Amino acid sequence: MQVIGKAGVCAAALLGLETQSTGRHNGHLGPGHFVGYSRMPGELRRQLRELLLQVAAFIRDRSKEQDHSVASQIVEYVHEHHRLDISLTDMAEYFNLSPNYISQLIKEKTGKIFKEYLSEFRVKQAKRIMNEQGELKIHDVACLVGWRNVNTFIRVFKKYEGVTPGQYKQEMEREEGEVEAARGVGALAELERPHGKGRTGWGDLKWPSGAHRSSWR
């Protein structure tokens, strides 16, 4: 007897009916595969059909839930191991699944193929590292996010960000300098602004005879 679909097996077990294959059905089992189905009363046949559809829907839903759970675990694996030279084959061995199925789950979960998602995640991590540890060399940043070849890192980074990592760092440092300068100007303006009674600002100081205010700054 050929292998029959899970839904058919479950329904057959529930109804206590024997089943037989009527030929090639690609793993799908319909009511017509049950012995004596055509001799069943109409109401029983209707109930059997409804039961089969319900069981099949339940199995599909459970399968989708399992796929979603596995896909989440795979994406988490990428996040935790992005510093390593990981591949679909590595993950297939780890999760005991085929590389093609791993690839399919990643695409369904992220909307991107594996290499694209991994590269994009590495670039995001590289930006975070440069923001937090601006003193690091570009080569060091590349190694920290999984690229052993700095030229590859520069090329991929520019693909996603439109600038090289070096240019990104320069722009980041320029913006930080402008922020610090703005803070300094704000602090000076606060000192020179007239204050309330009991508080002394630059304008309230008694300047020595012949001294210029700028010499005190």
Residue 4's pLDDT band (cuts 50, 70, 90): very low
Helices 42-81, 6-15: axis angle to 10 degrees equals 140
pLDDT in tens, 180-215: 767 766 666 666 666 555 555 555 555 555 555 444
Q: How many Å apart are CA 81 and CA 88, to the nearest integer?
A: 12
pTM above 0.75, yes or no: no
Residue 58's pLDDT band (cuts 50, 70, 90): low
Query: What mean pLDDT is predicted for residues 167-175?
Result: 89
Query: What mean pLDDT is predicted for residues 90-114?
Result: 94
Q: How many Å apart are CA 94 and CA 168, to the nearest integer?
A: 36
Q: How many Å apart are CA 78 and CA 69, to the nearest integer?
A: 15
How far from chain centre, in Å, is Cα 159? 19
CA distances from 7 to 53, 151, 188 (A): 8, 54, 77
